[in-house]
Structure formats: C-alpha cells, structure tokens
Structure 1
C-alpha cells in the first residue's frame, strides 16, 4: 500500500555503535521498528524497551516493508541477505533494502541484482557519515544510490536520521560518494595530526592550536570533533587516532591500535580498487594507508 497514509514498517539489522543509535533514533522519531542482530546480546537493550526482536533476518524481513542494514563488510551483508534464514528466504519479501553499510559499488550492484532476481526486492545503497554522535543526534550525511522512486519511498525514514540526505544517482553511486568522503576524512585526520605534531615540537600545544583554528580556513568537522572529544576527555575514537598518528611521527607506535583499525583498511581498500579500475592516482591516501599499516601491525615498538 502506498500513498499519503502509507507508513512503512521498518526493520533494522546491524546494531553496532552506529547502527544501534540509528535504530533508536528511528524509534524516537515515531517509526515502527523491529531489530535483529547476528550477535543476539546486542538486541537485549531494544527488547527491554519493547522493540519487536524476531528470531532471524528472514522473520524480520517478513514483518517489514523496508529493511535497513548497517554491517561491517560486503561479506556480512551477503550472509544476512543470502545466508541461512536470510532476507532472501523470507516468506514475504520486503519492498526495499536500504544498505547503510560501507562496501564497494561493485559488490552493491551484484548483491542488489541477485536479490531483485530472486525476490523482486529493490535496493538503495545509503552509506552514512557522521559517526555515532551524528547517528544519535540525527545529523548524519546520507548519500543514496538507486532508483528515484525507491529513494522517495524511503526518504521519510532517512530524513529522521540525516541533516543532509542526497540522492546521488544510480545504484552504487552512494558507495562511490562514501568512498570519496573517506578519502577526504582520512587525509584530513592525518593532516591534522601532522600539524599538531609539528606545532608541539616547536612549543605550541595541540589543544591551544585546535582552539585557535576554530572558524578559520583550516577548521573542519574533523577538527571540531577533536575539540569536542578533547573537552569530554575521551580517549579513543577520532581523537585517539589523531594522537596515535602524532606519536607515530615522534617514532613511537601505540600498541593499543594493533589490529584495531580494520575499518580504515577496508575503506581504503574500497577506494583503492575504484581508483585502480579508473586509472585515478590517490597518492595522499596511499600515504595514510602506510601510517595505518604501521599502527595496525606493529606492537609497542619504535617506528
């Protein structure tokens, strides 16, 4: 049923740091939301608040018109959609999959085509930027690829999550926009760390510099998040990564980052594959990749 009174039932799969906040935000803004997660324990806080928690992705898909995914990789998406008791095996197919995961355009197109062929369910790739704070506040940037009519159907749901919601083109273009976003974000993070290390070596603290740059041409959302996290005395996240890069520039490798930045490498890999396929050089991103590999694979040693 569609029209002015059409209120789709929403399913949400993938209750990590960002996905859990997105699902809760949808509930708080008046949407009827069911949740499921491959790790059952992550559904417990939702069950305690009265969310429907079906036993499988297949059961959730049967209950819902639109199913949102927020998963860690293309392999995870394929498992949830096509694995045992997956979405594709539902007795009644959902109308639209909205995939908030960050995967490659090529994988998006292949998964979407396979699902449509099997069930008639269409697909929007809708990766997000803004992290857990943006998910909690409903201020994410969401970049959407897919059919215009599907975008318009899903838009009332996505608007609850986003400060900026953009239909960027055909299927896969949302993932291309997200890869571009990651190039800017990763390089900006490394540039901030380099500037901070440069300033501190000459006697100017990173805290003072970050405040002095507020509102200037070098300011950014990344720098603003660093200031916020510093004021809150947070240890990890983006602030922690900047500080780890700063220590790396001084010749030390943070042991707590060993094996813990898989997402950075996954996203750089996606961008790298796109760049290679199109013959586009990305030398700055390759420099960031080198920094990340030093943090990722070494343990508690001088660089």
Structure 2
C-alpha cells in the first residue's frame, strides 16, 4: 500500500455504511464514496470524502474497497454489473464486504472476483448497530486469508472493539448467521416478555432492573428490551433486513442438515410483521404482532 493509511473506496452508505464511513474519515483515511442515493454522499463529501458516480469509479486507485449493501442482488450488481467495481480490481486490491449475506453466496462471489482479478476478498459482517458504527465499537467476524486480515488489522480496530478472524472466506458469514439466529429469536422473546408484563399489570420498564446480574440479564435485555417497553420502533435496522437474515439462517441450517425450530418460529413472526406492512420499522416492532393477537382474541370473545 502506498500511504500510511490505505486509500479506501466505500460503497453503500446506509444505516451502517454511512456512520462507518464517517468514522473512518474522522480518522483521516483517504476515501472515495458511492451510493445509489446521492443524498447519502453529500454529508460525507463535506467530511472530506470524494464523491463518485459508479462503483468502478469509486474503486479506481483504491487499496481497499469496502462494501456495505442491503442484499445479495445489490452486491452482485455492484461487483459484476455495468460499471461494476470488478473493472477496477487488480492483484493488489482487497475487497472487504461488511454486508450480511449467506455463506454460500459469499464464497461464490469471492471466488468469481478472485479468479477474474487476483484480488483478495474478506467477508467481515458486523454487529452493534448504527451507534456502534459511529463510535468505532462494532463487533466484526471475518473470513479471509491470514495475510489479508493481518494487513488490515489497524483499519478493523479503528472501527471495532471486537475483531475475530474466524477462518477462510465465508466463515465470517457463518458466524454472523449464528449471531442473527440468536438476535432474531431474542427480538421475539423480549417482545413477548414486554407484552406479558404489561398484560399482567407490571411496570414493564422495570424488568431489566429486576433481572440485572441474573440469568435473564444480558446486552439485549439492557439495550433492546427498554426500546420495546417504550414502544420505540424507530429503525436502527430494518425489520425486513432481519427477516432476510433469518431466512438465510433457515437455508444455512437446511444445507447443514440441522434443525433450528426456535429461529424458525421467529422467522415466521417476522414474515407476518412484514406482510402487515411494517418492513421499514425496527425489529422491535415485532411487538405489534402481540397487540394484534390480543385484539383478535378480544374480538372473538366479544362475538361469543
């Protein structure tokens, strides 16, 4: 690499990508940016980024290309589509994909890119939400060669407090799938707990204090549960994205030949939430389904 800090291209500036890019700019990484929404680039340009108008232009001359996109189809288009970044990759390039994708997709797209250009591919899905992205305290689980991961260690530690090299390309995505199994199931369980507390006459907001340091305590109890109890459904991440992740969990379990009944139930609940038109709500909005069930029972009871 040609400078003290690698020249970055950042593609995908949404709920997670935007704060991560801003964090890196604040640490004086040279950066070119691209997003299909030009408005997302404007604030980053003010912070020192160079705006570009296509993935290939964004990746041109970059040492490291960072991708943070909402779907596998979006990644496919950005890498291999018209004006895709593939045209700017070389044997010196490293692509880091922060997106949450299926392990199989990750392995396939990495192999295609590497075979065509000789570039290296690291899958590095993240956890922690937009606030952790902004203050550099994300959790990153990554797959890739030891050499590629080691070369970018300082970049990863600039945006995360926990960085784990899981193994070869694709294994970071396996770890993220398992993490999403736990998170997605807990969204449903915590919403159920809030509604039961409310229906039983308890001040639901007190539960995190009640269980503090007990077996029911944890990060999700202390950070996620209070938002559900406050009926705060402002998106830190979209419910439709969580459903996408849970469906990938089910597919990974099918391929691996193992049962995942708990996350399977959570997947069904999130399908109902999205079908009800709440896809752009936060995952905390799963609480709305419990309201709906109660209203349904009340209506049935009134008709008898």
What range is the shorter-chain TM-score in? 0.7 to 0.9
Instruction: Choose which of 232, 236, 251 in structure 2 pairs with 1:273.
Output: 251
1:29 is aligned to 27
Alpha-carbon distance between aligned partners in 1 of 2:85 and 2:246, rounded to the nearest angstrom: 29
2:300 is aligned to none
| Unmatched 5+ stretches in structure 1 | 242-259
Deviations 1:12-47 (A, max 9, x none): 111001110000111112322221112222111112
Q: Tell me the CA shift for residue 230 of structure 1.
A: 7.4
The answer as to 2:58 corresponding to 1:60 is yes
Instruction: Choose which of 164, 188, 191 in structure 1 pairs with 2:189.
Output: 191
| Unmatched 5+ stretches in structure 2 | 278-287, 297-304
Preserved CA contact (<8 Å) 1:61 1:93: no
| Bigger shift: residues 123-132 or 20-29 | 20-29
Alpha-carbon distance between aligned partners in 1 of 2:229 and 2:188, rounded to the nearest angstrom: 20
Instruction: Choose which of 46, 49, 60 in structure 2 pairs with 1:48.
Output: 46
1:214 is aligned to 212
- Shift of the 171–92 alpha-carbon distance from structure 1 to 2, 3 Å rule, reads closer
| Bigger shift: residues 212-221 or 98-107 | 212-221
SS of structure 2 residue aligned to 1:216: coil
2:141 is aligned to 143
**Normalised TM-score (structure 1):** 0.86
Preserved CA contact (<8 Å) 2:65 2:95: yes
Alpha-carbon distance between aligned partners in 2 of 1:190 and 1:82, rounded to the nearest angstrom: 37
Preserved CA contact (<8 Å) 1:129 1:140: yes
Alpha-carbon RMSD across the aligned residues, in angstroms, is 2.3
Preserved CA contact (<8 Å) 1:31 1:157: no
Alpha-carbon distance between aligned partners in 2 of 1:289 and 1:117, rounded to the nearest angstrom: 35
Alpha-carbon distance between aligned partners in 1 of 2:240 and 2:97, rounded to the nearest angstrom: 20
Q: Tell me the CA shift for residue 211 of structure 1.
A: 2.7
Instruction: Choose which of 163, 184, 195 in structure 1 pairs with 2:161.
Output: 163
Mapping 1:1-303, distance limit 5 Å:
1=1, 6-90=4-88, 95-226=93-224, 229=227, 234-237=232-235, 261-298=239-276, 302-303=295-296
Preserved CA contact (<8 Å) 1:64 1:94: no
Preserved CA contact (<8 Å) 1:211 1:227: no
**Normalised TM-score (structure 2):** 0.85
